[in-house]
Each structure stands twice: as structure tokens, then as C-alpha cells.
Amino acid sequence: MGKALDRKEKDGAPDFNLFRAVEVFMAVAEMQQVTTAASALGMTQSAASQHLKNLETAFGVKFIDRSQRPIALTHAGGILQRHGFRILNEIEDLRANIRRLNATTLPVLRMGLLASIATTLTPGLFDFVVKELGVPELILSAGLATDHQTALNARQIDIAVTSELIRNEAGYRAIPVLDEPFYLVLPEDYDGNPSDIGEISSRLSLVRFGVATPVGRRTDQHLQRCRLFFPRAMEADRSSMVVAGVATGKCFAILSPSLLIDAVAEGMRLRIVPLPFPGFRRRIQVVARSGEFDRIADALAAECAGILRQHFALRFPGIAGEVAYHDAAPG
């Protein structure tokens, strides 16, 4: 801070660098020796001891029991250590964000992906972000649309490839990627009439997404509008688990291509047919906070559409043409 460490403020507390003092304390707590911790931090033992003394004076408690060898923490020291991890992580996040603001090029891009298409998108997005956008590091996380909304609000991610749960409101900008229909998914060896939903539901149980998931709620709402109520055998929050239920031969599901892509790529044997009742669709989109990453979000939306178009054509040749894409390429 540029002031003498032992200078007294009006309230009697020492004027010192709190962050540096916590950093010294955390190093001592981990290494259990002041000398070793000081060396790791590139300072003298006396300087490290002064930081610890200032920290204890400021809080009016002892954090370290110096009578024990190796050094042990007091009860207050244990509390400070738990908080210290969060403090240092927050400071590091702050430093990273400031570096991002000051950088002429974006040093890292943090993206949230829908879990059902994360495996499909990752290789192509990595190449695109590094080679075309010039961003040297890509940090990816997979989850549900609700996870993405929370992460965007907390600024834990910059951009999400997600569902239509997040719209052009409340400080978000959403760029559509595609609109996809839902299909009836049956075991491959189902020998009944795929257009007779009554027969299907009498022979098989519905395996579905839980109502805590956006796609689960969307499906339930549509079935209620259609006055359809099916026996249910299993709920899950990941598409791979839902499809695995169908693969048992005892269940059917209602899914879209993006929810099926991983299972089909893994060779699961399924029969995918049109819904024998009024259909519905869902949108996949790229979402960013308004006024942030506009150019990157637009480019990523077009790239995601291209990647998914290619994979859907490969995995679902019979139905891929029913997906409506929002990029400029022909359908």
C-alpha cells in the first residue's frame, strides 16, 4: 500500500495489506512453517511474521499456535482458513476479469453447453474459437438451461449454447441456432403400430425427463394440452439416461434430435418415428449478456448451426431435413 506497516489508523488498527496478509497466513497454514511459507512467497521470514502479527492485531485474536511444532492453527485460524480459500479465489477471479478487460484480444472464453450436445459441439467449437476467433483458451462446462441462466447471472460463463428458457429480456441477447421437432422413440424391435399411441402406452412405459428440467416441464405441458397421460417407469435429468431406458425394451420416450445424438452415435438401437399426436418443437440458441461478446456470439451461433447440421445429417438422415436452421446455409 506504500505506507509503513506499523502506522496506526484512527481506530487503532494497523494499516497493512490485508490480502497479502491472508495470502501469507494461508501459505503458513498449508506448510506449517513460517520460513518455508516465506520462501515460497519470495519474502523474508521477518516480513512474513510481520504480516501474521498485523493480521492478528487487526482481528484481535490469535490465528496460529506458535507453541506447537509444526505450527498449528487455533480455532479462529481454522475459521480464517476456510474463508481464506474463498477470498483468494475471488481475488484471482477479479484479476482474471481485469486482465480480460485490459487485453487487446480475449485471453479466454468461458462457455456453457447443453449436456446433450456438448460432446458433439466440443471438437468443432474448440478449433473455431482458437483458429477463427483467435481466443487462445476455451473453458467449457456442460449442464441444463437452468444451470446456464444461473452461471450467466453470476458471470461464471460468458456465453451459453442453451435452450429457449433464456430469452431476449432481462439483460440477455439470444441468437437462434435451430428449431427441432420432438419424436417418438421406441425400442428398435418394437413390433406394434407406431401410429397407435394407445397400444404403445399399453405395452411400454414412458421414460422421461424430470419436471425439474426445462425439457421435462416442456414435455409435460404439451402432453397435458393433448390430454395424454401415460404410465411412467423412470425419470432422469440427462438424455443418455432417458435413452438407456428405451434401450431396455420396456419404455418409450419423447425426444428431439439434439437429445438423441449421443445415444445414436454410441450405437444404441432405437426406432425414431413421428409423434402420433400434435407435435411440438424446441429452440437451441446462443445466449450472452446484452452488449457483451456480440460479435463472438453471432459467430458461434452460425458455427453451432453448421456443426449440428452436419452431425444430424450423418446420424438422422431420415429426419434431419425437418430441423429448421437459422444460419445462412441451405437446409
Q: What is the pLDDT of residues 7-19, one digit of tens each?
A: 444 455 555 688 8
User: Is it true that 111-179+282-325 and 183-279 share their CATH fold?
Assistant: yes
- List all residues 6 or more positions away from 106 whose beta carbon is below 8 Å from its beta carbon: 100, 133, 134, 135, 296
Return the amino acid letter for 44.
T
Average pLDDT over residues 311-315: 94
Assigned C-alpha cell, 195 = 401410429
Considering only residues 47 and 231, tell me which one the structure prediction assigns the higher pLDDT.
Answer: 47
Asked if 250 and 233 touch (Cβ cutoff 8 Å), the reply is yes
- 179-202 pLDDT tens trace: 999 999 999 999 999 999 999 999
What per-residue confidence (pLDDT) applies to 328?
54
> Domain 18-101 falls in which CATH fold?
Arc Repressor Mutant, subunit A (1.10.10)
Other Cβ atoms less than 10 A from the Cβ of 320: the count is 18
CA angle 269/218/266 to nearest 5° reads 20
Residue 302 confidence (pLDDT) above 90: yes
What per-residue confidence (pLDDT) applies to 260?
93
H/E element holding 39? helix 34-41
Per-domain residue ranges of the chain: 18-101, 111-179+282-325, 183-279
Which overall architecture, per CATH, does domain 183-279 show? 3-Layer(aba) Sandwich (3.40)
CA angle 241/245/249 to nearest 5° reads 155
Considering only residues 106 and 4, tell me which one the structure prediction assigns the higher pLDDT.
Answer: 106
Average pLDDT, the chain: 87
| Residue found under cell 501469507 | 24
Assigned C-alpha cell, 109 = 472464453
Asked if 270 and 245 touch (Cβ cutoff 8 Å), the reply is no
* Euclidean distance between CA atoms 33 and 234, whole angstroms: 55
Residue 104 confidence (pLDDT) above 50: no
State the distance between the two ends of the chain, measured CA to CA, in whole angstroms: 61
- 243-280 pLDDT tens trace: 999 999 999 999 999 999 988 888 888 999 999 999 99
What per-residue confidence (pLDDT) applies to 137?
87
For the chain, give the percent of residues with pLDDT over 90.
57
Residue 155 confidence (pLDDT) above 70: yes
Of the candidate ranges 121-125, 218-222, 263-267, 322-326, the one whose mean pLDDT is the lowest? 263-267
Rounded (10°) angle between helices 18-31 and 45-59: 110
pTM: 0.68
Residue 2 confidence (pLDDT) above 60: no
Considering only residues 193 and 165, tell me which one the structure prediction assigns the higher pLDDT.
Answer: 193
* Euclidean distance between CA atoms 239 and 187, whole angstroms: 15
What per-residue confidence (pLDDT) applies to 118?
94
* Euclidean distance between CA atoms 162 and 214, whole angstroms: 11
Residue 331 confidence (pLDDT) above 60: no
> Domain 111-179+282-325 falls in which CATH fold?
D-Maltodextrin-Binding Protein; domain 2 (3.40.190)
What per-residue confidence (pLDDT) applies to 153?
87
Can you list the alpha helix ranges (DSSP code H) found in 159-274? 197-203, 214-225, 239-247, 257-265
